[in-house]
Amino acid sequence: MPLNFKAISEDAPGPKWRRQFLEYWPAYSAWWAREGLSGRPTYHECRQALCTHMPEIVDLYDELCALVGGGDVEARFLSFYCPPRYLAGCSQAIWQGDTPLLVRNYDYDEDAFDAVILKTRWNGRGVIGTTDGLFGLVDGINDAGLTASLTFGGRQEVGTGFGVPLILRYILQTCTTTEEAGEILKRVPCHMSYNVTVLDSARRYLTAYLTPDRPTILTRAAVATNHQERVEWSSHARFTATVERERFLLQRLTLHPETQEKFVGAFLKPPLYSTAFSSGFGTLYTAAYRPKARALEIHWPGRTWSKSFDAFEEDQVRVTFPSPARQVY
């Protein structure tokens, strides 16, 4: 199953971003309306929530909405406020050497993935990241060297709040340190349970456990898979092997000091690398974020794609994944 990964650079919201959004809009709109539009917040409720919790990016939100025609459904979608529930796999960890390095696997359904690495300078802040819905990010880095990445938190509860990709965008648009990011993670509501790991150029880091029904917990965990302090959704934990992946990473960090190259390479092999593509949880890419260099590398077995603020080529990479008969989970 081939997938084209695109690298796009556009400082201000413009025709490149609009073209990508409109290309994906039929799929986005079907997903957003799958439970009925009456079940989603109104445009007024969405914008008011942004004004309350993320005021610094409201003007940017308005600009993006206008760029795609100012439609009601498009604007509600771009707010990421109270979206339909969705699940992902993912593993992420911070290398324990002196140089700040965050490595993550993104395990998700290739049919529901943007496959876009977007470099922007919205509101004067440089950001490079892997997009979700073209506005949100599942991981990224800004020009201050602040890096953020997410994994699903392994709980079924759904509440009132934002989809976590927009929270990552907000952090990278407005923060320069891990401490600042932690304050945002404590106060902005998230609609489902997610783990967000943040690392800055001074190698300060945290992992936040976001939930829709409990206060956010900020931890010094260097590893995040698909549960939080304990397993609360046992069938999902077994299916994704979240405990086994966490144990494997912790052992690598504590028992087997290794080079950066070996640490990154471990994410390209089982048990971290997932081949569950038929169930929508295959590893679509491995990302290595380097805050000191303001750079990232996207890895696949046998292939590496490098990007940075100093060297960002607009190009494409075609990756082929296994595509056996789809299983229902």
**Residues 321, 1 contacting (CB under 8 angstroms):** yes
Contacts of 254 (CB under 8 A, 6+ apart): none
User: In the prediction, which pLDDT does 137 show?
Assistant: 98
Residues 124-142 have pLDDT tens digits of 999 999 999 999 999 999 9
In the DSSP assignment, the letter for residue 301 is T
Handedness of CA 42, 47, 52, 54 (dihedral sign): positive
What would the mean pLDDT of 239-264 be, rounded to a whole number?
A: 92
**Largest separation between any pair of C-alpha atoms in the chain:** 55
Residues 158-167 have pLDDT tens digits of 999 999 999 9
Looking at residue 148, its amino acid is: A
Within a 13 Å sphere around the CA of 207, how many CA atoms are in the beta-carbon half?
23
183 phi/psi in degrees, rounded to 5: -65, -40
**Residues 9, 119 contacting (CB under 8 angstroms):** yes
User: In the prediction, which pLDDT does 30 show?
Assistant: 94
User: In the prediction, which pLDDT does 326 show?
Assistant: 41
pLDDT score of 328 more than 50: no
pLDDT score of 288 more than 90: yes
Say what the pTM is.
0.96
Q: What is the DSSP string of 150-217?
A: EEE-S-----SSB-HHHHHHHHHHH-SSHHHHHHHHHHS-BSS-EEEEEE-TT--EEEEEE-SSS--E
The average confidence (pLDDT) of the chain is 95
Residues 56-105 have pLDDT tens digits of 999 999 999 999 999 999 999 999 999 998 888 899 999 999 999 999 99
Residues 29-54 have pLDDT tens digits of 999 998 888 889 999 999 999 999 99
pLDDT score of 233 more than 60: yes
Three-state SS at 257: coil
User: In the prediction, which pLDDT does 321 show?
Assistant: 86
CA distances in angstroms from 303 to 98, 111, 265, listed in the order given = 26, 21, 11
Cβ atoms < 10 Å from Cβ of 15: 9
Q: How confident is the model at residue 329 (pLDDT cuts 50, 70, 90)?
A: very low
